[in-house]
Structure 1
């Protein structure tokens, strides 16, 4: 009798699995792993960090279209160019929503920011404003002097530190300093990010406090925007109050809003004090949005302006920093590629001046290096969408409310598509214009939800990498290859171990470097 009672739960589990399998087939839902979803947690037990690699392994076994269950939510994983194309073209409007996850509630102003807002009139208005006032070609050209100036400051600092002896450089810290100051000068007209004590020499106590607060906020945002939150799929954890991530997001939201509102008030005060003619010549992005607020206060609210400021920070910083750090790591492990890129720059730019943004069109191999880096290590390895209504993908029924993850990393590292994808070979991109190749190479997404800041980021990445390659010799700190292990936190694929490299000025570039 006791044995039968013990077997009863197992019998119930077997029956529930059989019914679930039968209903799955009856509804023509996409294939799923042979291992069944478990009660409550679903397929979460099959997924480990990094998630894009775990999902790629499942796709290798079970096919490029598979339906998983993460706790209470359906998740469609797409890992082939044809399936991605069907999702992002035929079903583009259906999948134009973002999943409503915890990060969007606190970092996306309760799902109202450009990144997290559902598809509709509000989102279209934000996209139009960002396209015209922030990411338009004219706007990016206006801010070219800021990018050039910050690259010069970085080069001058490197030259002064390494002119007498070889210098070990903390590459990630150097690139963060460059990128965050470029973006903050675009947003506010001021530098706000300082990574070393040398930067703090001429700062007041108030400026040092702002710089420290800004650094803490940005670091936390880049970590938490891409953090995996089990509570998004298991609501009971939130009901029980055991979600530590939510507490961190609430604290970050308060710190971020306070800092951004103080910054806005400071800019408002400066606008009132400055003369109109001078303001037009020195208009930063926040000044532009605040000027528009006067004529359309209901559209350009303080919260909307703050949210756009955060979108620029997210779109233009974290992904650019990690892309440049990965590119430098790959170049150090492949010195022949580094030398080929340097030869191209010497041929088209020479030794009498430093490379400029306008030179990029004459440096196609440098562009190939950036593309190959983005192929191997895309900034957003998973493109998240959510179905607004029932639809079909690959002939299968996809119910409304299904989270769709386009696994860009899996597609761009598929040996059947790329051939020897683990080998760093920039030559495979020779002849490709732009940063997309159908749906087998799309590091910035595609369609309505494609990354709005890709052009802004790539202008800076090209100028920075070109300058570092042209003006300095770079070596590994040991005979061992640079560790290419991936970290598991953050919105993009970051390095587990930050890059250190030996840097010394090139003899042929001493004259232009000394004039920086």
Structure 2
């Protein structure tokens, strides 16, 4: 018995160091991954996340550094939280991170990634991106569709004026979503999504539900043994809402095609009177087009515009107005600038924005602190090295835009709302700080080849709408406006902004 005990002790003395030595050698010989907290079996680091991921990532990065490695379930991920690290991912090694990860929801709502937002980087995406820049969302098309945006902003001002006369409060977010929905819908489909008519209400609800499903955490995407299970019921809800959306889009496309066959309507300038769907159908019917646009690709792109162009614009205006209400001196300065440039006898227009540098600075500051897309998501297609760390292929990348905009190494007093940081000493705009992805401390619209193609449209709508709102009204609230965020893929407010508009011009000017 004693001999057996001695043998077991000898075996343990030999076995334990051997195991530790092998683990040490394996660790030394394995590629060096970024710093990482302790992971749990099966769920990895999911227990460290909260309902607001960008805040949770920021908290982890504050302890482990601007580049961290996480396992969300069984999915390897990295999080970038500083401008320097973001630049390495999005510029130096951009070619390795041009794809977005495919999820159950994204694959389904984009008809198998046949849209622009989720399409793998390749010939199809290059073709659609070129269409966006040259025809769909380019300067000429935006100019042609300017009357739509002017009219919808005028409708908003008229509604606010009615509320002001009645002494009623306004849920700002709801009215701004209505505005952005109508702008997108009229530009794309030549129809409004406001009113009580059944079709408009259905379309609004479908876009809202699809947006919510796109941003919802799905166990099937992250934990391998849930891959083919719809444990949260997301798949069932997805099929139902997409079935309704697809049916409605088929009806709208048929109506457009029927109109094209019957009317072939032209304007005095000789241009076909078109919305964006008409332009897409033109391209689909063009035999000389370098790539065929199928029905699925058209519907996927239209859904992109609704999902990406409604909530985000409304959220940006709402956060900016909230900041201005909490900072009355900044609001007063913005109003004085508008009065001096535009006057009090006409409503501010898109063409006035370049002459309003302080207003532009306000929007940059709002986008810095409250980016409507707080996280950029990519996926590596090949192994690469970032800041000396190995990043394997098929690793998901989360660029924490929210954290980058609050980096104290690049922004003095980063939590302070101070538009002057974007102005030169003479009050003109600082040309070196732009929001279009050239400066990695400010990335509200992404950067590089996968940056947002609708940036120009978004800036036109949000800046002009807010300028008109503060030109025409003072805004009264009870107490201080809170700045709490709600869980979402975008950055909505936790509590709606409820205001009482008070006319500051008499009469309130109209665009018409």
TM-score, normalised relative to structure 1? 0.89
Computing the radius of gyration over CA atoms, which structure comes out larger, 1 or 2?
A: 2
Query: Deviation at 1:255?
Result: 1.6
Local SS of the residue matching 1:224: helix
Q: Hey, what's the Cα distance between the residues in 2 that align with 1:318 and 1:230?
A: 25
Q: 1:120 to 1:246 in 2, by over 3 A?
A: same
Q: Hey, what's the Cα distance between the residues in 2 that align with 1:330 and 1:343?
A: 17
1:485 aligns with 2:476: no
Question: Cα RMSD (Å) of the superposition?
Answer: 2.1
Q: Hey, what's the Cα distance between the residues in 2 that align with 1:138 and 1:314?
A: 23
Q: 5 Å matches for 1:11-410? A: 23=26, 25-33=28-36, 35-163=37-165, 165-191=166-192, 193-194=193-194, 199-200=195-196, 208-278=197-267, 280-296=271-287, 299-410=292-403
Q: 1:511 to 1:123 in 2, by over 3 A?
A: closer
Q: Hey, what's the Cα distance between the residues in 2 that align with 1:498 and 1:417?
A: 31
Q: 1:234 to 1:24 in 2, by over 3 A?
A: farther
Query: Deviation at 1:248?
Result: 1.9
TM-score, normalised relative to structure 2? 0.90
Q: 1:277 to 1:239 in 2, by over 3 A?
A: closer
Q: 1:25 to 1:377 in 2, by over 3 A?
A: farther
Local SS of the residue matching 2:435: coil
**Structure 1 ranges of 4+ moved more than 4 A:** 15-25
The count of aligned residue pairs is 483
Query: Which segment drifts farther, 208-217 or 35-44?
Result: 35-44
Q: 1:19 to 1:339 in 2, by over 3 A?
A: farther
Answer yes or no: is the 8 Å Cα contact 1:161–1:167 preserved in 2.
Answer: yes
Local SS of the residue matching 2:266: helix
Q: Hey, what's the Cα distance between the residues in 2 that align with 1:177 and 1:428?
A: 32
Answer yes or no: is the 8 Å Cα contact 1:474–1:504 preserved in 2.
Answer: yes
Q: 1:18 to 1:74 in 2, by over 3 A?
A: farther
In the other structure, the counterpart of 1:510 is: 507
Q: Hey, what's the Cα distance between the residues in 2 that align with 1:179 and 1:454?
A: 14
Local SS of the residue matching 2:509: helix
Query: Deviation at 1:209?
Result: 1.2
* Deviation per residue, 1:228-272 (Å, 9 max, x gap): 223211132243441322222222221221111111111111112
* Deviation per residue, 1:69-90 (Å, 9 max, x gap): 1111110111111111111111
Q: Which runs of 5+ in 1 are unaligned?
A: 1-14, 201-207
Q: 1:166 to 1:19 in 2, by over 3 A?
A: farther
